[in-house]
Amino acid sequence: MSELSNALQTRYRSDVCGSLRASDAGRVVRLAGWIHRRRDHGSLVFIDLRDRYGIVQVVVDAAVAPEAHAALTDARIEWVISVEGGVALRRAGTENEKLPTGAVEVAGTKVEVLSRAKTPPFYINEPDAPIDESVRLKHRYLDLRREPLRDRLLLRSQMVQAIREVHHAHGFVEVETPILIKSTPEGARDFIVPSRLQPGSVYALPQSPQQMKQLLMVAGFDRYFQIARCFRDEDLRGDRQPEFTQLDLEMSFVDEGGVRSFVEQMVIDVTKRTRPDRPIQQLPFPVFTYDEALERYGSDKPDLRYGLELIDLGAALPATTGFKVFDAPRASGGRVRAIRVPGLGGIARSQIDDLTERAKRYGADGLVWISLQEDGEVRSPIAKFLSAEATTALWSATGGTTVAAGGDLLLIVAGERVRSAEVLGRLRVEVAGEIGLADPDILAFCWVHRFPMYQWESESGRWDATHNPFSAPVPEHRDLLTTSSGDLARRSAGDPAGGALAQQYDVVLNGWELGGGSIRIHDRELLERSFALMGHSLDDARAKFGALLDAFEYGAPPHGGIAIGVERWAALLAGQTNIREVMAFPKTQSGSDLMLEAPSEPDPSQWSDLGLSVRRPTGGVTGAKKDA
């Protein structure tokens, strides 16, 4: 018996259901678990008994064990029982090759009913049965019994264990940072926690441990990591939750290459330990600048499992084509780009119309298409604007000839440089998914770096940090951080890839941002200058980030780090795109917990204790002292 099996022994069980094998034949065991299935055959009752470790068949014969048989008379699925009996080899031809325990069964001689169960709202023993997600979330404790979700949670646990082992092996110290911190509203809204002891004051739940981990570097801890709980009060979608977990790490005396080198090897090690069956497409990870990723894939998180790269058609087109859709954007510095989709030359017009509507929804003025039939015939609504030579040049520019590209489809978007790329990038992902170009088993990692340090916020009329305000500029752009946001605006207004570039980097997996980080500014004066560029007064910066600014005056090492979404990583390794599928108790799209019925109204006395009242939309007031 293994060390783990020994550790799992209790008065209710000597073994776990999934551990029994042919070598256990002849042993007397005691098992405990849930009735997964029950079959009656006269005096024989067959039970599939399930626990977290697996399923084993139990057979109880009324002639041999009448009391045990009687105990199962009313037993139904999901009752909790314990069974004692001898392990025996199944008769030849009755083995179940689908189960690791399928060569044996337990001849039950004693049965104890530990807990009865109502009929569940869905079948737990049918893992592929469709179930409304709201029902799953309402009864999550039952959903967690189902094999697919259980296995994904176990995979996540295994992944987190591997993360800890790799970090400890590389000299990292695990430090837990506070959950109640100062509110510094930037980006997403903070979750606010009123203070009872200091009426009128609040804590915030951390959106990330950003300042704390940098302060740990100032404190000399050199290498820190944490499996950190984070909270953001933002609109939700499939890959977002109000509370989530991230692998947070920071390193001292490193440059960008040092951080990326460790993180890449860590990601490889953890991935191979967790999913050794899923091949990594390319090692080392490909590296793209932000500009390069945008130009080639129309995205700063490219999916590399397939081609469909964006092609700039500018060189293939004459200076003027007579087609306004192409000529007007080019005259104002825009681009004409295309993707060539193999095998879609015979696409139906209704499908083309659907793609066109999507392109418009994503911000394009329209979508131009050219299809080349298998017989070489060119079809396009713009055929009359293009000569035969121009058409041939377009096909050549996209990597084919009029013969080799037979049956292919060109999708063309013209417009402003960034927007046209992003629109075509979204179509690239959607078309690839619809025609099955991406291998679901492949893990295609890459790095994207050298992001714009700032982005122009037209509504506020100022610059804001692209990632976070603590990121350092690339060395050659340090001097661009002047105190005049007007100077920077004149250099790069309207071009989010212009101006200062940051030492920021994202690690991407299969078209999803897995995590992002940067080398940090560790000089107080430079950080204050960066805040000034974003329209923050020194008083405002000191009020929000005073501890960090003060700490930098006591000797701060060069440092940098990254935060990787644990749920997103686990979901992608598990073959899921929705992070709720790797969370034990997730919230809905509206941020509700259907099982616990949260959020809920507190007892009125709790408002009173906090010195708060709530002004409701109808005008009613709950509480005692202060509007909140």
In the predicted model, is pLDDT for residue 626 greater than 50? no
In the predicted model, is pLDDT for residue 186 greater than 90? no
Q: Using CA atoms, how far apart are residues 309 and 516, in angstroms rounded to an integer?
A: 24
pLDDT at 468: 85
pLDDT at 487: 46
Residue type, 331: A
CB-based contact 122:576 (threshold 8 Å): no
Mean pLDDT of 276-281: 98
**Class of residue 628 by CB neighbours under 10 A (exposed 0-12, middle 13-18, buried 19+):** middle
Residue type, 460: S
In the predicted model, is pLDDT for residue 221 greater than 90? yes
Given CATH 2.60.40.10, say whether it is the number of domain 3-115: no
In the predicted model, is pLDDT for residue 485 greater than 60? no
Better-scored residue on pLDDT, 460 or 184: 184
CB-based contact 277:271 (threshold 8 Å): no
pLDDT at 381: 82
> Residue 479 has what DSSP assignment?
G
Angle (CA) 98 104 106, round 5°: 125
In the predicted model, is pLDDT for residue 405 greater than 70? no
* pLDDT tens-digit map of 69-122: 999 999 999 999 999 999 999 999 999 999 999 999 999 999 999 999 999 999
DSSP line for 295-326: HHHSSSS--TTS----EE-GGGS-S--S-HHH
Mean pLDDT of 511-532: 94
Residue carrying the six token digits 């005396």 = 253
Lowest mean pLDDT among 301-310, 515-524, 537-546, 555-564: 537-546
pLDDT at 496: 36
In the predicted model, is pLDDT for residue 488 greater than 50? no
* pLDDT tens-digit map of 473-484: 999 988 877 644
pLDDT at 260: 99
pLDDT at 456: 77
> Residue 497 has what DSSP assignment?
T
Mean pLDDT of 131-149: 97
Mean pLDDT of 7-26: 95
In the predicted model, is pLDDT for residue 520 greater than 60? yes
Give 537's pLDDT tier (boundaries 50, 70, 90): confident
Lowest mean pLDDT among 339-343, 388-392, 600-604: 388-392
**Class of residue 96 by CB neighbours under 10 A (exposed 0-12, middle 13-18, buried 19+):** middle
Residue carrying the six token digits 């616990």 = 596
* pLDDT tens-digit map of 56-72: 999 999 999 999 999 99
Helix/strand/coil for 269: helix
Give 490's pLDDT tier (boundaries 50, 70, 90): very low
In the predicted model, is pLDDT for residue 127 greater than 80? yes
Q: Using CA atoms, how far apart are residues 364 and 201, in angstroms rounded to an integer?
A: 47
pLDDT at 510: 98
φ/ψ bin of 536: left (φ > 0), alpha (ψ from -120 to 50), beta (otherwise): beta
Q: Using CA atoms, how far apart are residues 276 and 284, in angstroms rounded to an integer?
A: 17
Residue type, 220: G
Q: Do the domains at 3-115 and 306-434 have one common CATH topology?
A: no
pLDDT at 246: 98
Q: Mean pLDDT over all residues of the chain?
A: 90
pLDDT at 378: 74
Mean pLDDT of 187-214: 93
Note if the pTM is more than 0.85. yes
Domain ranges of the chain: 3-115, 306-434, 451-502+523-556, 598-628
**Among 553, 556, 548, 543, residue whose Cα is nearest residue 470:** 548
Mean pLDDT of 370-398: 75
**CATH fold label, 306-434:** Gyrase A; domain 2 (3.30.1360)
In the predicted model, is pLDDT for residue 625 greater than 90? no
φ/ψ bin of 73: left (φ > 0), alpha (ψ from -120 to 50), beta (otherwise): alpha
In the predicted model, is pLDDT for residue 4 greater than 70? no
Helix H or strand E segment including 133: helix 133-138
Mean pLDDT of 455-464: 75
